[in-house]
Amino acid sequence: MNDMKTCFHGGASFDAIGSDFDRLESKSKVIRADVIDAWYDPAPNVVEALEKNLKWLLRNSAPTNSEGLIKTISKVRGIPPENLLVGGGSSDLMFAFFLHYPFDSVTILDPMYGEYAHIFEKVLKKIPQRVLQRPKDCFKISTDDILQGSAGSDMIVIVNPNSPTGQYLTKDEVQKLLLALPKKTTLVIDETYIDFVGKDQSVEGLVPEHKNLVIIKSMSKVYALSGARVGYLAAHSDIIEQIRGHIPPWSVGLIGQVAGVEALKNEEYYEKRIAETHQLRENFATQLKEIPGITVYPSCTNFILLDISNTGKNSKQIYEELIKQNIYVRDVTSMGVQFDHNFIRIAVKDGQSNDKICSALKNILKRTYEKSDTF
């Protein structure tokens, strides 16, 4: 059951696998499309390094402040080390930053990744202003709307590309937004999915020049390291020094540090997987569009947003019927005030799994239409 003290993130598929991991052998029978984990394995050199040294990695403490991981991120991403912090995934860094960075008011996108609204509303007791992205516009993000909707805010937080919509602002648009903002307004951008549109679209390299720009990034999705919990925050050195004391020692375990370093050494592997993901997504979207009543929104990422309001079923009903077939998708109602049980998000998986999801949806909705035809 979801506790109001925590944010719901999906992951209900562990009900089938076992939250105490007693049924791990059943994992291949479950399609976990409710969480946006990679459909592919980590790079071969990552797996090799972990397998070769697993016993040693398990029994030894990690470097206290992840110095080697920071050095590697700095080299690969072109960000000075003094502009970087690492943590146990992006959520770890979000709590460290927002709970210890002074601001009075904040603006967020709606819909958007739910952890941000949770931190502001449930933890900090700050009610955010919301800039709505509309279904009729395919949830496109508008910089003009952000500027107008954030008037008076000390902080703006966006996810780019956005989850669950798969829409994004280009680097040029983000730079224009940054330049148009008052210097006292901090712009926080979650770039977890930016590699799906290209590393050249990231603005993380601008942080040394801008005291009001903060980038939060998870290495879970693109690098297939969700289980290792690795993320980083890039910001002006003044901000880094302000937050550094709130990052605990060993915030990234030894397995996570080694996995992160090795993954960053093999960008070519991940670029190929990203290209495959784009092809899988387009094939998946084409199949989904053939299902009566479903509206498929365009995406640039490894997930797809669907409007199911014309299918005769709501998102809760579809979610529950798919679970009976060991297929888990995300009811995104909690991620936006506009959704109202009419939208689901599905992570892009391998081709066979995507086919099974489409087939299951077709059968569920076919039965719905057959019942409605009998009246």
Residue that the structure tokens 């946006």 belong to: 36
CA distance 207 to 100: 19
**Contacts for 226 with CB less than 8 Å, ≥ 6 apart:** 35, 37, 38, 220
Of 9-13, 235-239, 300-304, 320-324, the one with minimum mean pLDDT is 9-13
* pLDDT over 70 at 5, yes or no: no
Residue 353 is which amino acid?
S
Q: How far apart are CA 188 and CA 356, in angstroms?
A: 38
Instruction: Give pTM, 2 decimals.
Output: 0.93
Tell whether the model's pLDDT for residue 18 goes beyond 90.
no
Q: Is the pLDDT of residue 3 over 50?
A: no
Residue ranges per structural domain of the chain: 14-40+268-373, 44-266
* Average pLDDT, integer, range 315-337: 94
Inter-CA distances, 314 with 289, 301, 309, 311, 347, Å: 18, 24, 7, 8, 19
Say how many C-beta atoms besides its own lie within 10 A of residue 369's C-beta.
12
Order the strands of the 186-190 sheet from edge to edge. 84-87, 231-235, 213-218, 186-190, 155-159, 106-110, 129-132
pLDDT, tens digit (0-9, with 9 covering 90-100), for 153-194: 999 999 999 999 999 999 999 999 999 999 999 999 999 999
Give the position of tokens 């579809």.
318
pLDDT in tens, 34-70: 999 999 999 999 999 999 999 999 999 999 999 999 9
215 DSSP β-pair partners: 189, 234
| CATH architecture assignment, domain 44-266 | 3-Layer(aba) Sandwich (3.40)
Cα–Cα distances in Å, from 222 out to 37, 158, 256, 287, 316?
8, 19, 15, 24, 29
- For position 2, what pLDDT does the model report? 44
Q: In the predicted model, is pLDDT for residue 15 greater than 80? A: no
Q: How far is CA 317 from the centre of its chain?
A: 25
| 3-state helix/strand/coil string of 67-125 | HHHHHHHHHHHCCCHHHEEEECCHHHHHHHHHCCCCCCCEEEEECCCHHHHHHHHHHCC
CATH superfamily of 14-40+268-373: Aspartate Aminotransferase, domain 1 (3.90.1150.10)
- Across the chain, mean pLDDT equals 93
Between CA 208 and CA 82 the distance in angstroms is: 9
Is 14-40+268-373's fold the same as 44-266's? Answer: no
Per-residue pLDDT tens digits for 349-372: 999 999 999 999 999 998 665 565
